[in-house]
């Protein structure tokens, strides 16, 4: 991750993509969102969704997983170039989370995040606060999820 | 669930409580949020959290699970009394999700939801839109998570 001073509003991150299988949709739902349209094909066909689809929370946490992997890959690449890596986190929360379309079995969701706001932190002067808008888009180009999250990002250390 | 017309702003739901174990914190993190302070006790002690703690997403999806169980229990109780049960869902999304305190191993979080807004739906005239603020509070009375969600709730059918 870059230092806070090196980030600009409008910077984008191609976070990654994921294809949702029936097995993992059902496994997530059994544990965290056991509504029939996430668990049972026949019941899902009769529901307002029309077919088995992923829990909205599942669509959100897959973004988290891909973002952790993305940051790790960026950090490893920076280390390999001999560059420093800024600390990131913790996250304060998110806002405006919208589930725009269902995610059906076999859908491939591509997640992208864009920096929307940068501001100083009063509580942690060695960090800044970065807000990003993250979106997931399916293979037909339709947005399925969108939200804004805010995270601490380390400032560049002052030279001694 | 009650019909939209029978719900009032200020109605509260005692959604349920959950104790977070080290095993389930690590299992969730391995799958969806593999940051070291959610996975490894020694690394968590050295982190800004000071000890192993749950992914914020984990704290959120446990609410979802408890809410599904709560609605199911309410529906079964209504059926047992011979009363009709209003349909609920889908959810449109969430806003103002805040992670206020870490959730550490052994913490018991009690989740409560309160109706904050009721308004007609333009897109689905047979439903209304209900917003609720949900909070999770630990065993010391400290809020750890808070968010607002909006869901469709079925209107009472007109008599023929």
CA distance A89 to chain B (A): 9
Average pLDDT of the residues of chain B = 94
Residue B136 has pLDDT above 70, yes or no: yes
Q: Does pLDDT of B119 surpass 70? A: yes
Contacts of B61 in chain A (CB under 8 A): 32-33, 57, 61
Give contacts of B40 with chain A, Cβ < 8 Å: none
Q: For residue A32, which residues of chain B lie inside 8 Å, CB to CB?
A: 61-62, 64-65
Q: Which residues of A touch B55 (CB under 8 A)?
A: 64
State yes or no: pLDDT of B1 exceeds 90: no
Closest residue in B to A27 (Cα) is B31
What ipTM was assigned to the predicted interfaces of this complex? Answer: 0.90
B52-86 pLDDT tens trace: 999 999 999 999 999 999 999 999 999 999 998 99
- CB atoms A99 and B90 under 8 Å: yes
Task: Dig out the tokens for B45 from the structure.
Answer: 């002690």
- Asked if pLDDT for residue B14 goes beyond 80, the answer is yes
CB A95 within 8 A of CB A147: yes
For residues B21-45, average pLDDT: 96
Q: Which stretch of DSSP H or E encloses residue A39?
A: none
The model's confidence at residue B160, banded by pLDDT at 50, 70 and 90, is low
d(CA B71, CA A71): 38
Q: Please list the rounded mean pLDDT of every run of 10 residues in chain A (160 residues).
A: 93 97 97 95 93 96 96 94 89 92 98 97 92 98 97 86
- The pLDDT value given to residue B157: 87
Q: Determine, for residues B95 and A97 on separate chains, whether the beta-carbon distance falls below 8 Å.
A: yes
SS3 per-residue string spanning A74-137? HHHHHHHCCCCCCCEEEEEEEEEEEECCCCECCCEEEEEEEEEEEEECCCCCCEEEEEEEEEEE
Q: What is the DSSP letter of B140?
A: T
* Chain B interface mutation, best of A88, A97, A147, A152, highest count of B Cβ atoms under 10 Å: A97
Q: What is the pLDDT of residues B82-112, one digit of tens each?
A: 998 998 888 888 999 999 999 999 999 999 9
**Which pLDDT score, from 0 to 100, does residue A157 have?**
87
Residues B147 and A76: their CA atoms lie apart, in Å, by 35
Most A CBs within 10 Å, among B40, B43, B57, B127, to test the A interface: B57
Question: What is the predicted pLDDT for the residue at A160?
Answer: 60
Cβ neighbors of A142 (< 8 A, separation 6 or more) are A100, A101
Question: Nearest-CA distance from A160 to chain B in Å?
Answer: 24
What residues of B are in contact with residue A92 (Cβ under 8 Å)?
A: 98-99
Q: Which residue has the tokens 């180009």?
A: A141
Give phi and psi for B43, each to the nearest 5.
Answer: -65, -35
Place of tokens 């949900």: B134
């Amino acid at each position: 991750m870059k230092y806070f001073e090196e980030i600009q509003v409008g910077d984008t991150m191609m976070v990654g993509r994921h294809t949702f299988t029936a097995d993992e949709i059902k496994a997530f739902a059994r544990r965290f969102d056991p509504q029939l349209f996430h668990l049972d094909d026949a019941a899902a066909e009769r529901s307002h969704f029309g077919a088995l689809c992923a829990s909205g929370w599942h669509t959100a946490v897959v973004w988290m997983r891909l973002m952790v992997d993305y940051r790790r890959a960026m950090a490893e690449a920076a280390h390999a170039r001999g560059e420093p890596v800024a600390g990131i986190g913790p996250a304060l929360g998110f806002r405006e989370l919208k589930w725009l379309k269902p995610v059906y079995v076999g859908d491939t969701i591509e997640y992208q995040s864009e920096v929307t706001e940068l501001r100083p932190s009063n509580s942690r002067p060695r960090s800044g606060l970065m807000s990003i808008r993250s979106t997931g888009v399916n293979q037909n180009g339709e947005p399925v999820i969108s939200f804004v999250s805010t995270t601490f990002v380390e400032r560049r250390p002052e030279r001694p």
